[in-house]
Amino acid sequence: MRHIATIIAFAALSLVFGTPYAQACDCSNALLKGSYGYTGTGALLAAYVGPTDAGPFAEVGRQTFDGKGHTDAIATLSANGDISQVTVEGTYTVKSDCTGTMTLNIVQFGSTVDLNIVIDEDGNEIRAIVSDVNVIESRVYRKQFPSESEKRVSASRDTRNSNSVESSVVAVAVTRRDVLLT
């Protein structure tokens, strides 16, 4: 009996306060369009760059996505304290679950880096990790100038998330009260 009352209470409160956030946008290559500022930090291991260049790594840059699977960037990086300005060209693929991959070619070094990505904040943020062996780097990208409609979608999503948390708290309180009464 308590279990049925809990389910009914949660269902009723979900109708009143909203349901948990579901994916608000269609994830595809088209979602990534425009310029993103990003930072990356990590380490380059000797097996990847040789012993003299191995060590801590940091990067800051601006990367532009065309919405069709192509990207380019400019960045400043520090590899074990050596500062370099680089240009990057590459490709990306976004899956329907908002995960994907990127392959970036660093022009000055003639090297290629592969990344796994997750798109967040309705396309306004990307999180990435280098998937190559002997490189430890994670990145966070943030859309530089989201349009007003992109800001509204993100704010609307935040409101839905807030309501979902309130629904869960109220449902737990009702469940607790129901248990205490029996």
* 157, 122 contact by CB (below 8 A): yes
pLDDT per position as a tens digit, 43-94: 999 999 889 889 999 999 999 999 999 999 999 999 999 999 999 999 999 9
pTM of the predicted structure, to 2 decimals: 0.70
pLDDT digits (tens, 9 = 90+) for 4-50: 544 444 444 444 444 344 445 689 999 999 999 999 999 999 999 88
Residue reference for tokens 């990847």: 48
Delineate the domains of the chain, giving CATH numbers in brackets.
29-145 (2.40.128)
Residue 126's contacts (CB-CB under 8 Å, 6 or more residues apart) are 32, 36, 38, 117, 118, 119, 120, 139, 140, 141
**Parallel/antiparallel/unpaired status of strands 70-79 and 111-120:** unpaired
